[in-house]
Amino acid sequence: MGMCWGNDRSVERDVGEKRVLLIVGGGVAAYKALLLTRLLRKAGVAVRPILTKAGAAFVTPLSLAALAEDKVYEDLFSLTDEHEMGHIELSRSADLVVVAPATADLIAKAAQGLAGDLASTTLLATDKPVLMAPAMNVRMWLHPATQRNIATLEADGVRFVGPEEGAMACGEFGPGRLAEPEAIFAAIMAALEGPAARPLEGKRALVTAGPTFEPIDPVRGITNRSSGKQGFAIAEALAKLGAEVTLIAGPVALPTPPGVRRIDVETARQMLAASQAALPADVGVFVAAVADWRVDEAFGSKLKKEKGGPPALTFVENPDILATLSASGPHRPRLVVGFAAETDHVEEHARAKLARKGCDWIIANDVTEPGVMGGGENAVLLVTKTGTERWDRAAKDRVAAQIAQRIAEALG
């Protein structure tokens, strides 16, 4: 075992190395704690595990110790452990206490200040920030007692990540699934980095991404080549800076970014409705490549080839999401950012779009450049009412980080 830290009898940790005390509760999802531990160790974060009796029914102390590169603590009344490190010292030996999975029982004990085992005693004795990742049956999560306990802990300053909605091992569907290890990892890193690294804490962001799909008949439709990568990267970058992000996504095959609430839609009208429902927001970033037109009335059955030639299609204009959300009103975001995918005269068209749509910024790019539309890189112009900035070509996640930082500066 390579890592030792926490008392004067241990090897000193590196200056600046972050430490997490990880409490692993019981439940089928406990295996995710192993994956989380690996992510933390790869990032250079030291992990000291506490394994509950229920947690040990799902993961072994040996596997947890091997991945953490440290001893696993299980028994409150182990004289050896008390001699080496008392439970009070253990509870304060890290920069952050993480509970994953946080069962209904652990949450209830923490909320009521109970201390009958090592995990609950640690939570009561610690003077460090606490992050919990709940996991339980949907009915248990929605029960008023659990919701009261969550409210109590939030009022005490405990942070939460998840739970997510989905199918569970018990066969039910709904909120209660343990957040994915990547999402918990992102929340841990944000907590360890502190408020300076989260300038958008408390801010709400709305992001649209990907193409829309306008049906012609049950199998055909009008769409475009947008991959959604830039919008998803922006949503993730905003979440990393602390924003509460709602991502309205067209039909794309991309994983949901950690810490982001995702709503899937298909048509422009659905995207507009979902965007309006997500308000109020401090910033709206409208990256989606929305179809300008749709068929007046989609056919109910598949169109067949006829001797008379192809059918005549009547098109009507789709709602303008950017212009609608830019319009003055009580729920208009403080900062509205539009995107312009252009094939020529990029800056000229972007500035005209800025005036026409009524937004605050336009981020424009030339989609004729190889690797931009559907690819992994982008080169953009930031067009505001006061000037234009040309950014060098870079990976879309780096462009997204730069955009998110500029948004944080603009929101103060």
**Would you say 321 is a known binding-site residue?**
yes
Q: E strand or H helix at 22, and its extent?
A: strand 19-24
The string of DSSP letters for 201-247 reads TT-EEEEEESB--EESSSS-EE-----SHHHHHHHHHHHHTT-EEEE
Are 381 and 350 in contact, with CB atoms under 8 Å apart?
A: yes
**Would you say 282 is a known binding-site residue?**
no
Catalytic residue among 142, 151, 169, 170: 170
**Would you say 322 is a known binding-site residue?**
yes
**Would you say 319 is a known binding-site residue?**
yes
What is the radius of gyration, based on Cα positions, of the chain?
Answer: 25
CA–CA separation, 397 and 393 (whole Å): 11
> Active site includes 170?
yes
**Would you say 339 is a known binding-site residue?**
yes
**Would you say 353 is a known binding-site residue?**
yes
**Residues in Cβ contact with 180 at an 8 Å cutoff, skipping those fewer than 6 apart:** 32, 164, 258
Paired with 209 in beta bridges are 249
Are 286 and 337 in contact, with CB atoms under 8 Å apart?
A: yes
Are 118 and 87 in contact, with CB atoms under 8 Å apart?
A: yes
Are 122 and 93 in contact, with CB atoms under 8 Å apart?
A: no
CA–CA separation, 81 and 97 (whole Å): 19
The string of DSSP letters for 85-116 reads S-HHHHHTSSSEEEEEEE-HHHHHHHHHT--S
**Would you say 320 is a known binding-site residue?**
yes
Residues of the binding site for CTP: 292, 302, 319-322, 339, 353, 357
Residues placed in the known binding site: 292, 302, 319-322, 339, 353, 357
Active-site residue numbers? 170
